[in-house]
Copies of this chain bind each other. A is one copy, B any other.
Amino acid sequence: MTAAEAGRPFTVEPWCVREPALHLEAMGQTESVFALSNGHIGMRGNLDEGEPHAIPGTYLNSLYERRPLPYAEGGYGYPESGQTIINVTNGKLIRLLVDDEPFDLRYGNLTRHERVLDLQAGTLTREVEWASPADKTIRVRSTRLVSLTQRAIAAICYEVEAVDAPTTLVVQSELVANEQLPQRANGDPRVEAALAEPLVSEQHRSESAGATLVHQTRQSGLRLAAAMDHEVYGPESTQTSSEATEDIGRTTVIARLKPGETLRIVKYLSYGWSSRRSLPAVHDQVRAALAAARFTGWDGLLAEQRAYLDDFWITADVEIDGDAELQQAVRLAVFHVLQAGARAERRAIGAKGLTGDGYDGHTFWDTETFALPVLSHLAPDAAADALRWRRSILPQAMERAEQLGLAGAAFPWRTIRGHECSGYWPAGTAAFHINADIADAVRRHVAATGDLEFEREVGLELLVQTARLWRSLGHHDSAGEFRIDGVTGPDEYTAIVDNNVYTNLMAQLNLRYAADVAARNPRAASRLGVNAEEMASWRDAAASMRIPFDEVLGVHPQSEGFTDHQMWDFENTPEKKYPLLLNYPYFDLYRKQVIKQADLVLAMQLQPDAFTREQMSRNFAYYEAITVRDSSLSAATQAVVAAWTGHLDLAYDYFAEAALVDLGDLAGNTDHGMHIASMAGTWNAVASGFGGMRTDRDGISFAPRLPSPLPRISFGVLWQGRSLRVTMTADEVEYRLVSGPPMRLRHHGEALALADAPVVRDMPPVPAVEPVEQPHGRGPRRRHPG
């Protein structure tokens, strides 16, 4: 049962997500929503005592294990093994014995259970009042944080109060490696076997109030250290001792409390891993981080966390008046995007961040296309580091291109550390657009930050190698047009097609931008072997890029011949057959007009200048009617283009769908992790959709429009060293420079100068438009019926 079916587990509040009572049936969802991460360490919102759980999860960015990729019929270039994120040593675990009975919510009497994710404090707190089966009542209060300021550190403050009788407490605070995990449904037994106990012990040590465990992953050979230390505050007789075995570190605290007395334990946790450093080096690294955290202290960590977030929210806050649920959802969304990337530091940002095991922890094009536009404007260092990670895997991408018979770099469709991990090439290898998506992320990041050094030092090589890929992947036909055949665009219900418009437009941009940046940085380009002939060949290919157009229908076909295909029989497809990929074969999905996720519409979002206003409206209407949104990567894009084409209420509906995907468990799989791309798309829907924000080398412009049910939306954006806030109401829009030097911007085409004083402009009227239709039963939930 999904949480949506079970009733909403969360209350609606502006700055936190509160679960006022325990929803056992929604445990998987709450574990993901309550996950804490700094982009390096991720901890699912598992209960302190470990059980009951849906999916126990502690993750370290890019710490993976190899798993076999089997094929019924193999083929050249198929990857033989994949990479999968693993549940590392669990340091969240604090077990509690109340007199002689274990604290377990499934037994005894739970009179109060509240959990709160505080988006300003960056903490997950929990308050419990529980009577043991023997009727001994205690109160437990825990606060957990994964530090945004000290990358290796997490910490927990754990307090137990004896309520009405003297109580003996035994607290076992642990590090546990190779936790037993729930069996995956339909798991391949060989894969299950490979991942059953992925960690091999290398060292285990205990200190007086802590322990350190060092392990290596069995196949991938990565070294991982986890350490803990404790501060214990309790009655004088309280005893603390520690022990360690291969897979367990345990600090035991025994205290006898009188009624009203509290035992308070602060647990400091430190994590580190390396593929190259020695055992002593990794061991010492986590102990040093732990020492620094203890030096900071619990209150210090809390204060640092809040200060970091206060600074973030100045720009990042989005205010949505008139819809408290979305107000909460959009802040949670921005928070999770930050958590996914904040301290990833040249490692990948996964599709689920570090909130769950979904998609094996892989990174896809989601990062560049959905998450980075947000980070470039709200946490630009994180965006830059994500692109530096891409540059760091260029060797693997170039090797892959060579294996595929192509020039330049072919980035993996899904990966953790750079190797292609896709076991289904029609929706993996063939989806070459990821390379242009990376190039476009560079372009957008440079436009957002004005960081030309980054463009030269990091961007150029990415641009050159992806441009080379496109030049070798496409060819000129006899009519002189540059075609890219046999590839797969964003829509996963269509594959292996010729001249996918999205792909060709993005490749065109990639080729042009690479030539431009190379021309502006001739020495750096020359070091990469780029000469004038090569740059000219990129520009030529871009100039003659084929963009198919259906003259009869007056729309762009998603790819060559697409609009000649049979329409999916939406009328006779019952609701329970969605998502279609679980109930219909790929061959049938591929050959019919049915779209899983925005593809041509995404092309319009990312390259609006390639379409006339009329084409945009006609295309949007055409693709609305065949898009089923079986992917969470779709609604936010539809929101943007709906807003641009004047369908503002529809944009509002899609915005809500994107924002609520995890709070409402709309896809039914939030238990496996947060939909980071949809979270990010929520912000894009505000800034790009309603705000009409666009950036390029020439500047930043806005074209604000507001859906009528919403009286006010305010959002902020970092732009080239400035923090700018845009506040829209029904009648007017205010542009305000929060910090940074004076700047220029455009408002619906009008050039404005902005300095200390805010500038206010009228909102233009929104012309009435013909309504568009979605496939039978697949329209978004109306946010305001009627």
Listed in ascending order, the chain A residues whose CB lies under 8 Å from chain B are 69-79, 82, 186, 188, 190, 403-405, 422-426, 429-430, 475, 477-478, 483, 485-487, 495-496, 498, 552, 560-561, 564-566, 581-588, 590-592
Determine the distance from Cα of A70 to Cα of B77 in the docked complex, in whole angstroms.
17
User: In the bound complex, do residue B485 and residue A565 qualify as a contact, i.e. CB atoms below 8 Å apart?
Assistant: yes
Select one of B72, B82, B565, B581 contacting A76, CB under 8 A: B581
User: In the bound complex, do residue A70 and residue B71 qualify as a contact, i.e. CB atoms below 8 Å apart?
Assistant: yes
User: In the bound complex, do residue A590 and residue B72 qualify as a contact, i.e. CB atoms below 8 Å apart?
Assistant: no
Select one of B422, B483, B552, B566 contacting A485, CB under 8 A: B566
Determine the distance from Cα of A73 to Cα of B422 in the docked complex, in whole angstroms.
8
- A587: chain B residues at CB < 8 Å are 404, 425, 429-430, 486-487, 496
Closest to A566 in B: B475
Give the Cβ gap from A480 to chain B, nearest Cβ, in Å.
12
Would you give 9 A-B contacts (Cβ < 8 Å), ordered by A?
Answer: A73-B422, A403-B585, A404-B588, A425-B587, A430-B587, A483-B565, A485-B565, A498-B565, A560-B561
Determine the distance from Cα of A643 to Cα of B404 in the docked complex, in whole angstroms.
38
- A78: chain B residues at CB < 8 Å are 72
Give the Cβ gap from A326 to chain B, nearest Cβ, in Å.
35
Closest to A497 in B: B496
Given A425-B586, A478-B552, A561-B560, check contact A75 B581 (CB 8 Å): yes
Closest to A494 in B: B486
Give the Cβ gap from A783 to chain B, nearest Cβ, in Å.
33
User: In the bound complex, do residue B73 and residue A423 qualify as a contact, i.e. CB atoms below 8 Å apart?
Assistant: yes
- A404: chain B residues at CB < 8 Å are 585, 587-588
User: In the bound complex, do residue B486 and residue A429 qualify as a contact, i.e. CB atoms below 8 Å apart?
Assistant: no
Give the Cβ gap from A760 to chain B, nearest Cβ, in Å.
51
Closest to A74 in B: B186
User: In the bound complex, do residue A76 and residue B583 qualify as a contact, i.e. CB atoms below 8 Å apart?
Assistant: yes
Select one of B71, B186, B405, B426 contacting A588, CB under 8 A: B405
- A405: chain B residues at CB < 8 Å are 584-585, 588
- A69: chain B residues at CB < 8 Å are 72
Give the Cβ gap from A83 to chain B, nearest Cβ, in Å.
12
- A585: chain B residues at CB < 8 Å are 75-77, 403-405, 425, 429
User: In the bound complex, do residue A564 and residue B76 qualify as a contact, i.e. CB atoms below 8 Å apart?
Assistant: no
Closest to A70 in B: B70
Determine the distance from Cα of A116 to Cα of B435 in the docked complex, in whole angstroms.
61
Determine the distance from Cα of A592 to Cα of B70 in the docked complex, in whole angstroms.
27
Determine the distance from Cα of A581 to Cα of B475 in the docked complex, in whole angstroms.
22
Give the Cβ gap from A533 to chain B, nearest Cβ, in Å.
20
- A422: chain B residues at CB < 8 Å are 72-73
- A186: chain B residues at CB < 8 Å are 74
- A566: chain B residues at CB < 8 Å are 475, 483, 485
- A485: chain B residues at CB < 8 Å are 561, 564-566, 591-592
User: In the bound complex, do residue B76 and residue A582 qualify as a contact, i.e. CB atoms below 8 Å apart?
Assistant: yes
Determine the distance from Cα of A586 to Cα of B188 in the docked complex, in whole angstroms.
25
User: In the bound complex, do residue B581 and residue A188 qualify as a contact, i.e. CB atoms below 8 Å apart?
Assistant: no
- A552: chain B residues at CB < 8 Å are 478
Determine the distance from Cα of A75 to Cα of B592 in the docked complex, in whole angstroms.
17
User: In the bound complex, do residue A72 and residue B561 qualify as a contact, i.e. CB atoms below 8 Å apart?
Assistant: no
Closest to A588 in B: B405
Give the Cβ gap from A258 to chain B, nearest Cβ, in Å.
59
- A486: chain B residues at CB < 8 Å are 565, 587-588, 590-592
Determine the distance from Cα of A487 to Cα of B424 in the docked complex, in whole angstroms.
18
- Which A-B residue pairs are the 3 nearest by beta carbons? A72-B423, A486-B591, A70-B70
- A584: chain B residues at CB < 8 Å are 76-77, 405
Determine the distance from Cα of A25 to Cα of B346 in the docked complex, in whole angstroms.
55
Give the Cβ gap from A149 to chain B, nearest Cβ, in Å.
39
- A430: chain B residues at CB < 8 Å are 587
Given A552-B478, A587-B430, check contact A564 B498 (CB 8 Å): yes
Given A188-B70, A477-B564, A496-B496, check contact A75 B586 (CB 8 Å): yes
Closest to A590 in B: B486
Determine the distance from Cα of A584 to Cα of B77 in the docked complex, in whole angstroms.
7
- A560: chain B residues at CB < 8 Å are 561
Give the Cβ gap from A360 to chain B, nearest Cβ, in Å.
10
User: In the bound complex, do residue A561 and residue B496 qualify as a contact, i.e. CB atoms below 8 Å apart?
Assistant: no
Determine the distance from Cα of A41 to Cα of B91 in the docked complex, in whole angstroms.
64
Determine the distance from Cα of A51 to Cα of B533 in the docked complex, in whole angstroms.
64
- A75: chain B residues at CB < 8 Å are 424, 581, 585-586
Give the Cβ gap from A137 to chain B, nearest Cβ, in Å.
50
Give the Cβ gap from A655 to chain B, nearest Cβ, in Å.
31
User: In the bound complex, do residue A72 and residue B70 qualify as a contact, i.e. CB atoms below 8 Å apart?
Assistant: yes
Given A429-B585, A565-B485, A585-B77, check contact A424 B498 (CB 8 Å): no
